[in-house]
Amino acid sequence: MLCIPPAMPPVRVLIVDDHTLFCRGLTALLSRDPQVQVVGDAADAGKALRRAQELQPDVVLLDNNLPGVRGVDAIAALREAAPHTRILMLTVSEDVDDLAAALRNGASGYLLKTMEGDDLSQAIHRVMRGEPVVAQEMTGKLVNAFRAATDVPSASKPTPPPVAQSPLKSLSPRELEVLRGIMAGASNKEIARNLSITETTVKIHVQHILRKLDVGSRVHAAVLASESGLV
């Protein structure tokens, strides 16, 4: 007898945004993907907490510019109310401090409202696979901010310790190419297309890169690569 595996349930999404028309448009947009289901919305952080606790969604799409409490400041409470929910920022804010606060507070990604609708649906699925998702424009800003924070005047620099071997030395040439794609904010599919390899192969390379660099996310790998001088 042929055994047909059961269909995967759709990703249940809660939208948190105080613009009603935007919420409606976003709901209509996501409805085009049969594997995404919008289960509710909220216009402020307080209502978002109640809805998250009630619905236990898979993903919360969270705006930052909310009345009262900013989105990035509500992340910790949302994660406490719904421990298994992934928080995905969707905002107009291109402030690198907001990005850093979101990641520090436990967000799984940071996207801009200027992105294409199909890309948002893909980002939701990537987050559900455990991939951190950051808008390409923001990845560059995060790397630049890290460089600025570590670029102190030479007169104030302490005597450097003995130079340790760069962790990038442990990466193969192909892994370095994949890492450059990560630094550019490319998805696994985009990296695969650019390097003419399969997406599965890219995933394996990413796993090896994270293990060799001893980091927990693609963003951390990009920052470390930037600090090590990889262009």
* 110 plus 30 within the same structural domain: yes
d(CA 158, CA 46): 47
Count of domains observed in the chain: 2
Q: What is the predicted pLDDT for the residue at 1?
A: 46
Sign of CA dihedral 19, 20, 25, 29: positive
* 32 plus 123 within the same structural domain: yes
CATH number (domain holding residue 114)? 3.40.50.2300
- If we measure between CA atoms, which residue out of 134, 98, 144, 90 comes closest to residue 114? 90
Please identify, among 119, 135, 151, the residue that sits at the C-terminal boundary of a domain.
135
32: in domain: yes
Express each pLDDT in 134-192 by its tens digit.
888 787 777 666 665 555 454 555 555 544 456 788 888 898 899 888 887 788 888 99
**Residue 164, both tokens:** 């340790």
* 128 plus 173 within the same structural domain: no
- Return the number of other C-beta atoms located less than 10 Å from residue 171's C-beta: 20
- Return the number of other C-beta atoms located less than 10 Å from residue 228's C-beta: 13
Q: What is the predicted pLDDT for the residue at 224?
A: 78
* 30 plus 112 within the same structural domain: yes
**Residue 97, both tokens:** 């401090």
113: in domain: yes
**Residue 195, both tokens:** 């390097």
Region of 105 on the Ramachandran plot (φ > 0 left; ψ -120 to 50 alpha; else beta): alpha
Please identify, among 115, 135, 155, the residue that sits at the C-terminal boundary of a domain.
135
* 129 plus 197 within the same structural domain: no
Report residue 24: phi and psi, to 5°.
-65, -45
* Size (the chain), residues: 231
Residue 13 β-bridge partners: 38, 59
Q: What is the predicted pLDDT for the residue at 158?
A: 57
DSSP 92: S
* 82 plus 181 within the same structural domain: no
15: in domain: yes
163: in domain: no
Q: What is the predicted pLDDT for the residue at 10?
A: 94
End-to-end CA distance of the chain: 55
* 111 plus 176 within the same structural domain: no
141: in domain: no
Tell me the mean pLDDT per 10 residues along the chain, length 231. Answer: 62 95 92 94 93 96 91 92 94 88 89 87 91 82 64 52 63 88 83 90 86 79 75 56
Q: Are 40 and 15 in contact (CB under 8 A)?
A: yes
* 16 plus 117 within the same structural domain: yes
* 46 plus 113 within the same structural domain: yes
Q: Up-side HSE of residue 150: CA atoms within 13 Å toward CB?
A: 12
* 48 plus 112 within the same structural domain: yes
What is the domain range of residue 45? 11-135
**Beta strands 36-42 and 59-62: pairing type?**
unpaired
Q: Which residues contact 215 (CB under 8 A, 6 or more apart)?
A: 221, 224
**Residue 205, both tokens:** 């390379």
Beta strands in 25-160 (DSSP E): 36-42, 59-62, 86-91, 109-112, 133-134
DSSP 4: P
